[in-house]
Structure 1
């Protein structure tokens, strides 16, 4: 469930474009007006506003926002202005060129099969290169094999599970990992890339009942590095997407300093999807509202923008 709060009768894109242009005029930008408009418009409305702004003022709204805003607020707002697939493509481009394979893994392994198929098309049309070729270039070893398989192999997204196959997969994974000396990584890649989220959750259930501990624990024992990270991301996202992202947000804000890049990425990409559920999981797991956590870790207009995307403190 999304947290985005759109007015029942939002102003026309033309009125919004005029209001934004007015906020930019004069000495300094009326940042409060800018974020109040943009944080209350969905992806379609934001696209219409950009179109109207270009038509009326012969300039790109994103370029204007970039010149008027700065720092973390600029990063968050510019990311927000894209549609979901275009935003994911941009995030991946930035992560891959910076060789940030942890963030690349987070994004790729926490998207549905249909989202990934569309993302591949958008990435190619935006940047003129295939996402698969970028992964070939920047990733390596079993991690690369896992990302490429997960990106390209279609998977069911329904709740249906064949219990016999799920039980068999649990046995196969045990034989490929804990039962033998060394790990048969190819088997892990095959099962994790070909099976649906519901199916992997069932495999985890059978693994636990047959071998006395979770598949997650087995993955941690048998694999390492970015390969382990990709398997664990797929497993955790399959079981409970909201809980997975609650953990990512906690990781962004825990300890000394805040990982603002991760914080922005999760809030902005999930606000129109399931941020309400993520907030509920965050409260349940950490006994603190996500709004309160974000409030204590951020400041100024940047804080105000993220809190608008988060919706009421609950």
Structure 2
């Protein structure tokens, strides 16, 4: 039986295989983990498969999505709850300017803020304007990555509860990867979201 980092490594490795490529799954696992969790599962990844996670991302992902994933797995992030409100306000304005207030989108700003800032900081940055910019100015796996990071910075359990409702493979993945971490909170969020228990969904 794999421990959580080992399971993450296995799931991401399978998702990044050329013949089974599933960038949505790889993105969901990577972008829902904390900086310290990523560093541990990167070690497992290399120990088990003999290649660095960054190498497989480089091979399989592309464009801004690839740039974001590479930055996200290699950048240490503060994991405390303290927030510099002035910096959060500055970042919120920068994201607005990077999306809504310019022709085209400044993806570098999104990547910098989402990959360098703490979960607490991103929660402070979040606003209807930033969500609108992500929805309207980004797309595809890049958009999926940004949304996953933002949702997990605010309420990981709610993110996984919603993910659980999508399909059977997502359901199994959540059970496998979150049982030892925050399953009780996911169950509560699932009941709140869907007005039924997880047992009802599984049975």
TM-score class normalised by the smaller sequence: over 0.9
Secondary structure of 2:166's partner? helix
Q: Provide the secondary structure at the position in 2 that maps to 1:251.
A: coil
Higher relative contact order (CA closer than 8 Å, sequence separation 6+): 1
Gaps of 5+ in 1: 1-80, 253-258, 296-314
1:247 matches 2:162:
yes
Q: Distance in 2 between matches of 1:216 and 1:278?
A: 23
The 5-angstrom pairing of residues 72-87 of structure 1 reads 81-87=1-7
Counterpart-to-counterpart distance in 2, 1:195 and 1:123? 24
TM-score w.r.t. the length of structure 1 is 0.63
Distance 1:223 1:188 in 2: 10
Which of residues 178, 186, 194 is equivalent to 1:270?
A: 178
Distance 2:132 2:186 in 1: 24
Which residue matches 1:17?
A: none
Q: Does 1:233 align with 2:153?
A: no
**Equivalent position of 1:130 in the other structure:** 52
| Contact 2:96-2:129 at 8 Å conserved across structures | no
4+ runs of 1 displaced by more than 3 Å?
none
Q: What is the match of residue 9 of structure 2?
A: 89
Q: Which structure 2 segments of 5+ residues have no match?
A: none
- In 2, the alpha carbon distance for the partners of 1:262 and 1:189 equals 26
Higher CA-based Rg? 1
Cα RMSD, aligned residues only? 0.8
Matched, 1:171 2:79: no
Q: Is the 8 A contact 2:190 2:197 kept in 1?
A: yes
Question: How many pairs align?
Answer: 201
